[in-house]
Amino acid sequence: MNQYPLWRYVLIVVLIIFGVLYAAPNLYGTDPAIQIQPKSGQAVTSDVITKIEDTLLQQHIAYLDAVQQPTGLLIRFKDTEDQLKAQRYIQATVGQSDTVALNLAPRTPHWLRALGAEPMKLGLDLRGGIHFLYRADTHAMLKEHMNSDLRMMSEALQKSNVRYAHITLQSADSKNPDGSIVIAFRDKADRDKGLSLLSSNTAYQDYQFVTSHENDRYFVMAHLSQQAVVGLEEQAVSQNLTTLRNRVNQLGVSEPVIQQQGKNEISVDLPGIQDTARAKEIIGKTATLRFQLVDTQNDPTTASNSGIVPFGDTLYQYEGRPVLLKNEVVLHGKSILNATTITGDDGRPAVSVRAGGSEVSRFNEVTGDNIGKPMATVYVETRAVQHIVNGKVEMTQQQFPKIINIATINNALGNSFQIMGLDSNYAAKNLALLLRSGAYTVPITAISEQTIGPSLGKANIQAGTRACEIGLLLVAIFMLFYYNLFGLIADIALTLNVVFIVAIMSVLGATLTLPGIAAIVLTVGMAVDANVLIYERIREELRNGISPQASIFAGYQRAFVTIVDANVTTLIVATILFALGTGPVQGFAITLIIGLLTSMVTAIFFTRAAINLIYGRRRVENLSIGIKVDMSAANK
């Protein structure tokens, strides 16, 4: 009656071994560490390692070990004080050519890592991680949008033979904070024709047109409506949110928190991330890509020596020589749909690009008109630059453009083309990743970038953990004294339940947050409740004069449906929370879902297997379940 086949016991033993092995890495903890990663993508040289070790020795900074990795160097320290002190000196030693990032390195033994066992990821409220705060430059987006419309208005007037003196973009001021497009006409008749043409065109329905007259000029000023400005800003920030999420997905970070703060700021929290250097490089690279024609009609050397740059051009440096590029952008990074690394026709690393959108036709037209002429690929990174103004530190946005390639246009380019001339495979992979995950719609600047510790403080975390331990201990003591041997079996099942939750979350790479700890305690309570239902049912059967073996069988069989119903209803609610919730709510929900499933296994199958092993296959007079019922007469 109360017997399990051998395969069930073997399965339970295998599950226990699995749980212990994959939960074990969480017992070893982590060491404060520093990760050094060359921006070139090459390995850290032995000379650099020697310099770093000499620097740490000279500054009397003790470290546990230094491990060379495929793309960098990891140095472990005893405490965060040594870690923070070492970071300053290491950064000064390696300069700006390497990324020096704070990290937390797990102390998991090599034999466990060989089995794929890694510690569970902890959220920012428990372990800390990396926090980025970005600000979107919506003014630059509006300016670029209006510049594009300015060119379209100019072409529309020319095609309709409407004469005008000039068309310019007026900078923002107190009266017009978003700027305006100003078109000057020589007479009123041309102005009226131009106004009628533009105001009736649905392409400019977001603009409000105002006329004015000054001296011998007649003006039409086009202002973006406030509704259009708000819509463009919201769309731009929303698209940047999507781009950031795509880049985080490329990193493989579990449960990141990426959300908009205020009008134009984006907060990014990466809990428990291991490769902070990679995160800073990929997420922190607030860069855009653009393609511009090279000005071949003017001499760049003359412009560089004289300091006089021709109108409509910008002077750049490429491979140690000056280059003049036309300011008009023929294709932006936002039009790129996909990018993959390949080996170019010259045998060097290259990136194959597939583009789409409204700019492609214009790109095809411009490249078709300029076959045989050079075109540059410009990589523009936006950084926050600090200045001291009137004794106060102020932060401004500054763009750092870099020509990464100049190639001759052999034919009209369309949806597919290649970017060649990259320095290394690493540079090609990084560029392809950034292009694939999407260019930022508007430039964004990192105004805050830091590695942070537990937001609730170590004291609060220790107090919360201690409260959980005390609560679980009291439950275990109650079960032991109230249900005797059956209570001890339930206590072991509770312990295994926690082990299984930790093991599964570690394997899945799920992130444990403070609400997740609450979910663990909740599932433990539900598991105890399941055992109480079963044990009380067994007691009831014993009091009714049923034999111990029959009482055990009836107790598990009749309580099973009630337990499953309760867990299924809770599972439905937890699933809804996970689907509709965000951040901490999702953390609570995923932990609760895992806990519900493991509690079903431990509270029913494990305890039943243990009780069958103890009481099965033999004659039983009494059960150690907290009551004594003489069943000798019933057994005769």
Does the pLDDT at position 457 exceed 70?
A: no
Output the CA torsion 134→139→142→144 (10° steps).
-90
Token pair of 449 as six digits: 């970038």
DSSP symbol at 225: -
User: Is the predicted pLDDT of residue 572 greater than 90, yes or no?
Assistant: yes
Q: What does the pLDDT average to over 555-578? A: 89
pLDDT tens readout for residues 483-519: 999 999 999 999 999 999 999 999 988 877 778 888 8
pLDDT the model gives residue 576: 93
- Give me the pLDDT at residue 254, please: 47
Average pLDDT, the chain: 82
Q: Would you say residue 147 has pLDDT above 60?
A: yes
Band the pLDDT of 582: cuts 50, 70, 90: low
Mean pLDDT of 599-626: 86
Task: Kindly list the structural domains of the chain, giving each domain's residue range(s) and its CATH number in brackets, ordered by start.
Answer: 6-24+453-616 (1.20.1640.10), 30-106 (3.30.70.260), 139-226 (3.30.1360), 285-449 (3.30.1360.200)
More confident site: 273 or 600 = 600
Residue 112 and residue 21 in contact, taking contact as beta carbons nearer than 8 Å: yes
β strands within 112-199, DSSP E: 121-122, 129-136, 166-170, 180-185
Could you tell me what percent of the chain has a pLDDT over 90?
19
Of 105 and 535, the one with more pLDDT: 535
DSSP per residue over 330-368, as a string?
A: EEEGGGEEEEEEEE-TTSSEEEEEEE-STHHHHHHHHHH
Across the range 583-594, mean pLDDT stands at 85
Q: How far apart are CA 571 and CA 581, in angstroms?
A: 15
Is there a contact between 125 and 588 (Cβ–Cβ < 8 Å)? no
Indicate if the pLDDT at residue 392 is higher than 80: no
With bands split at pLDDT 50, 70 and 90, how would you rate the model's confidence at 252?
very low
Tell me what pLDDT residue 68 has. Answer: 83
pLDDT of residue 421: 67
pLDDT number for residue 339: 76
Higher pLDDT, 537 or 464: 537
Is the pLDDT at 284 greater than 70? The verdict is no
Q: Are the C-beta atoms of residues 72 and 97 closer than 8 Å to each other?
A: no
Among the listed residues 549, 553, 543, the one whose alpha carbon sits nearest the alpha carbon of residue 627: 543
Encoding tokens for residue 12?
């339970």
The model's pLDDT over 333-346, given as tens digits with 9 standing for 90+, comes to: 778 777 778 887 77
| Mean pLDDT along residues 624-635 | 63
Dist. CA 115–CA 103, nearest whole Å: 23
Is the pLDDT confidence value at 133 over 90?
no
For 424, residues 6+ apart whose C-beta sits below 8 A from its C-beta are: 40, 41, 42, 349
Residue written as token pair 């309760």: 566
- pLDDT at residue 302, as a whole number: 92
Q: Is 485 left (phi over 0), alpha (psi -120 to 50) or beta?
A: alpha
Q: CA 108 to CA 166: how far, in whole Å?
A: 69
Report phi then psi at 545, rounded to 5: 85, 10
The alpha helices in 45-162, defined as continuous H runs, are: 46-58, 80-94, 110-114, 138-159
Question: Any idea how long the chain is?
Answer: 636
* Amino acid letter for position 12: I
The arithmetic mean of pLDDT across residues 536-556, rounded, is 88
Average pLDDT over residues 182-202: 90
Residue 305 predicted with pLDDT over 80: yes
pTM (2 d.p.): 0.58
Q: How confident is the model at residue 635 (pLDDT cuts 50, 70, 90)?
A: very low
Q: Is the pLDDT of residue 113 over 70?
A: yes
Task: State residue 634's pLDDT score.
Answer: 45
Instruction: Using the predicted structure, report yes or no on whether residue 366 has a pLDDT greater than 70.
Output: yes
Averaged pLDDT, 107-121: 88
Q: How many CA atoms lie within 13 A of 607 on its CB side?
A: 33
Q: State pLDDT tens for residues 50-106.
A: 888 888 898 888 898 888 877 688 899 988 788 878 887 887 788 766 777 777 788
Q: Has residue 250 got a pLDDT over 70?
A: no
pLDDT at position 594 is: 93
Which comes out higher in pLDDT, residue 245 or 592?
A: 592
